[in-house]
Amino acid sequence: MANFGFRHLAVVAPYEEHWREAKSAVQAEDLLQNARRTQCLADAVADCTLVVGTGTLEYRKPEQTMISLPELTPIVGAEFARGGRMAMVFGPEKRGLTREDLALCHMLVEIPTDPRQPSMNLGQAVAVCLYELARASHPLASQTDAAASAPASSAVPSRARDLELLAGVIAETMQAANYSPVAMQKANDHDVRLLLRRVALTRPDARRILGLFRRVLWRLKR
């Protein structure tokens, strides 16, 4: 991260002992010292408008848009241009991201690797992804520029926290309305999460939909 000029690290539910060791190591970067630590991925990406998951999907059928790493740069550039903030999510070395983690991602990116040896070392995968992001442009610089030039608020994309709030209210509404049998609730919540990320809601739109569902929910609960 430091090599390619990235500064904002969030660590989700780290293994306490390893994390303490890493932070107190002699060569520990400011980056580690200043890392945020959260209990779940939703908190880590709450401020982000574009959340990109990573990892081999060999054993899993992807539920979102899949893109190849070289295709990511223009997408991220467009996101910064409209005032967005982006997160890349990496899973633990051995098992990668869970299905629940992936449901918080707008898209999944795959490093194009040889089919005979698709699985990469985590540190190398991170290096390759950040090299690609830094390659064409300087994403952090663009991000700052975009924030400075303040695009029309109607175009500002929703942050992960807006979408999570909305997903929660929709889930509650589905329950209150007896929309789905109990056995289907988890699956439906999952599908709503994915859908909210597919449709690329602007912040005002997300607010509007949230208002609607809150109203519906209030009526249902009366």
For its own copies, the closer of residues 131 and 179 by Cβ is 131
d(CA 84, CA 75): 11
Nearest distance from C-beta of residue 130 to its own copies, angstroms: 9
CB contact at 8 A, 157 and 205: no
State the sign of the Cα–Cα–Cα–Cα dihedral 17, 20, 50, 207.
positive
Is 20 among the residues that bind its own copies (CB under 8 A)? Answer: no
- Tell me the sheet residues that pair with 157: 202
Nearest distance from C-beta of residue 125 to its own copies, angstroms: 8
For the segment 26-65, give every residue that binds its own copies (CB under 8 A): 29
Nearest distance from C-beta of residue 131 to its own copies, angstroms: 5
For its own copies, the closer of residues 118 and 151 by Cβ is 118
CB contact at 8 A, 40 and 99: no
Q: What Rg, from alpha-carbon coordinates, does the chain have?
A: 19
d(CA 19, CA 23): 6
Is 113 among the residues that bind its own copies (CB under 8 A)? Answer: yes
For its own copies, the closer of residues 112 and 151 by Cβ is 112
- Binds its own copies by CB under 8 A, chosen from 9, 11, 75, 120: 120
- Binds its own copies by CB under 8 A, chosen from 114, 154, 182, 222: 114
For its own copies, the closer of residues 121 and 149 by Cβ is 121
Q: For its own copies, what does the binding mask look like between residues 135 and 174, x meaning CB under 8 A?
A: x---------------------------------------
Nearest distance from C-beta of residue 117 to its own copies, angstroms: 4
In terms of Cα–Cα distance, which of 27, 25, 26 is closest to 2?
27
Task: Fill in the amino acid letter for 1.
Answer: M
Is 74 among the residues that bind its own copies (CB under 8 A)? Answer: no
Contact residues for its own copies, defined by CB under 8 A? 2-5, 29, 69-70, 111-114, 116-121, 123-125, 127-128, 131-132, 134-135
